[in-house]
Structure 1
Amino acid sequence: MVPPTHLPAPPAIADDWALFLDVDGTLLEFAATPEGVQVPPGLVARLAGLQRHLGGALGLVSGRRLAQLDELFAPLRLPAAGLHGLERRHADNHVDPPTPPSLLRVLHRKAELVVERFPGALVEDKDSTVALHWRGNHEAEQPLRDLADAALPWLHDYRLQAGDGVVELRPAGTDKGDAIAALLDEPPFAGRRPVFVGDDLTDEHGFEVVIARGGLAVLVGDRTPTLASHRLGAPRDVLAWLDATADAPSHRSTA
Structure 2
Amino acid sequence: MPLPSAHLPAPPAVTSDWALFLDVDGTLLDFADAPGDVVVQPGLVDVLAVLHGRLDGALALVSGRRLAQLDELFAPLHLPAAGLHGLERRDDGHESLHARPVALDAVLAAARSLAAKFPGARVEDKGVALALHWRGSPAAEEPLHEFATSALIDLPGYHLQPGNHVVELRPDGAHKGEAVLELMTHAPFHGRRPVFVGDDLTDEAAFKAVGSHGGFGILVGARQPSAARYALHDPAAVRDWLEEGLSLA
Question: If the length of structure 2 is used for normalisation, what is the TM-score?
Answer: 0.97
Equivalent residue, structure 2, for 1:101 = 101
Equivalent residue, structure 1, for 2:40 = 39
Is the 8 Å Cα contact of residues 13 and 248 (structure 2) preserved in structure 1?
Answer: no
Residues of 2 paired with 1:26 and 1:184: CA distance? 21
Equivalent residue, structure 1, for 2:120 = 120
Equivalent residue, structure 1, for 2:187 = 187
Equivalent residue, structure 2, for 1:52 = 53
Equivalent residue, structure 1, for 2:143 = 143
Residues of 2 paired with 1:120 and 1:146: CA distance? 18
Q: Runs of 5+ in structure 2 lacking a partner? A: none
Structure 1 segment 46-85 matched on structure 2, within 5 A = 46-85=47-86
Give secondary structure in 1 for the equivalent of 2:36: helix
Is the 8 Å Cα contact of residues 18 and 194 (structure 2) preserved in structure 1?
Answer: yes
Question: If the length of structure 1 is used for normalisation, what is the TM-score?
Answer: 0.95
Equivalent residue, structure 1, for 2:248 = 249
Give secondary structure in 1 for the equivalent of 2:89: strand
Identity over the aligned pairs, expressed in percent?
Answer: 56
Displacement of 1:173 in angstroms is 1.4
Displacement of 1:94 in angstroms is 0.5
Residues of 2 paired with 1:115 and 1:154: CA distance? 19
Residues of 1 paired with 2:111 and 2:7: CA distance? 40
Q: Deviations over 1:19-52 (max 9, x none)?
A: 0000000000001100100001011110000001
Residues of 2 paired with 1:63 and 1:238: CA distance? 18
Displacement of 1:249 in angstroms is 3.0
Equivalent residue, structure 2, for 1:157 = 157
Does residue 1:175 correspond to 2:175, yes or no? yes
Equivalent residue, structure 2, for 1:7 = 8
Displacement of 1:111 in angstroms is 0.5
Give secondary structure in 1 for the equivalent of 2:6: helix
Residues of 2 paired with 1:162 and 1:208: CA distance? 18
Does residue 1:18 correspond to 2:19, yes or no? yes
Is the 8 Å Cα contact of residues 19 and 195 (structure 2) preserved in structure 1?
Answer: yes
Is the 8 Å Cα contact of residues 161 and 169 (structure 2) preserved in structure 1?
Answer: yes
Displacement of 1:223 in angstroms is 1.1
Question: What is the number of residues matched between the two proteins?
Answer: 245
* Aligned residue type for 2:13: A
Q: Deviations over 1:191-225 (max 9, x none)?
A: 00000000011101111100111101000001122
| Range 116-125 or range 96-105, more displaced | 96-105
Which of structure 1's runs of 4+ aligned residues deviate more than 3 A? Answer: none
Is the 8 Å Cα contact of residues 7 and 222 (structure 2) preserved in structure 1?
Answer: no
Displacement of 1:136 in angstroms is 0.6
Residues of 1 paired with 2:140 and 2:12: CA distance? 41
Is the 8 Å Cα contact of residues 26 and 199 (structure 2) preserved in structure 1?
Answer: yes
Residues of 2 paired with 1:193 and 1:85: CA distance? 20
* Aligned residue type for 2:132: L
Structure 1 segment 155-234 matched on structure 2, within 5 A = 155-234=155-234
Is the 8 Å Cα contact of residues 66 and 126 (structure 2) preserved in structure 1?
Answer: yes
Equivalent residue, structure 2, for 1:253 = none
* Aligned residue type for 1:127: G
* Aligned residue type for 2:111: A
Q: Deviations over 1:95-150 (max 9, x none)?
A: 00111111111111000110110000000000000000011101111111111111
Residues of 1 paired with 2:20 and 2:129: CA distance? 26
Displacement of 1:5 in angstroms is 2.2
Give secondary structure in 1 for the equivalent of 2:9: coil
Displacement of 1:87 in angstroms is 0.3
* Aligned residue type for 1:80: A
| Range 153-162 or range 26-35, more displaced | 153-162
Give secondary structure in 1 for the equivalent of 2:47: helix
Residues of 2 paired with 1:221 and 1:6: CA distance? 9
